[in-house]
Amino acid sequence: MQLDAVETVTALARAAAPRCGGTVVIGIDGPSGAGKTTLAEAVGRRLRCPAVHIDDLIPGWDGLAQAAGLLADQVLRPLAAGRAAGYRRWDWDASGWAEWVAVPSGPQLIVEGCASTAHPAAGFVAVRVWVEADEGVRMVRGIERDGEAYRPNWERWAAQERALFGADRTRERADLVLRT
């Protein structure tokens, strides 16, 4: 990830007003394989803040449409109300819900992954970053990361991304668009 992208996101986060109680939520969204996790890790190190990875909240390969609602209900609304926040982690190997993961409150929180800035989570996110790359590049990255056996799931997932991002206008509402 380019250093200037990390610095730009960090500067936006430091200048943003909180929309989730006293927490500035930095949302890093975009299609699979674009580089969201890499950016989130770099920004998290710079800001010394925790991150929620949306992949941990999505209930399986056909559950993308539920992601933003689960994020809002389990993490963002409780944080905004000053209550303990957390989520049930989805176990992709077992295809079921696993342990409860607590999310600490603090001045900043990164939410990273597909649908992290989509409605109904959108209203809590103070900084919206959209990360994108060419479809062929993203597919290669995804297959390298997940393995060839996941190719059919990737294609199913991509169709869900197009539907969600198109209806939600996620990219158009971003404060910053990064191309990797």
For the chain, the structural domain boundaries read: 3-53+107-179
The predicted structure's pLDDT at residue 147: 76
Do residues 23 and 106 touch, judged by C-beta distance below 8 A?
yes
Plot region of 97 (φ>0 → left; ψ -120 to 50 → alpha; else → beta): beta
CA distance 32 to 158: 8
Count CA within 13 A, CB hemisphere, residue 152: 1
The predicted structure's pLDDT at residue 138: 81
127 pLDDT band, cuts 50/70/90, is very high
Query: Identity (one letter) of the amino acid at 81?
Result: A
Q: What is the mean pLDDT of residues 112-122?
A: 97
The predicted structure's pLDDT at residue 34: 92
The predicted structure's pLDDT at residue 150: 74
3 pLDDT band, cuts 50/70/90, is low
Flag the least confident range among 7-16, 98-107, 118-127, 144-153.
144-153
State which fold the 3-53+107-179 domain adopts: Rossmann fold (3.40.50)
Residue 1 has pLDDT above 70, yes or no: no
Average pLDDT, the chain: 93
Over the stretch 154-175, which tens digit does the pLDDT of each residue have?
Answer: 888 889 999 999 999 999 999 9
Q: Give one DSSP letter per residue of 41-90, joined into a string.
A: HHHHHHHT--EEEGGGTS-STT-GGGHHHHHIIIIIHHHHTT--EEEEEE
Count CA within 13 A, CB hemisphere, residue 15: 7
CA distance 128 to 176: 7
Over the stretch 22-61, which tens digit does the pLDDT of each residue have?
Answer: 999 999 999 988 999 999 999 999 999 999 999 999 999 9
Q: What is the mean pLDDT of residues 138-149?
A: 78
48-69 in b/e form (b: 16+ CB < 10 A) is ebebbbbbbbbbeeeebeebbe
Over the stretch 69-116, which tens digit does the pLDDT of each residue have?
Answer: 999 999 999 999 999 999 999 999 999 999 999 999 999 999 999 999
Query: Identity (one letter) of the amino acid at 102?
Result: A
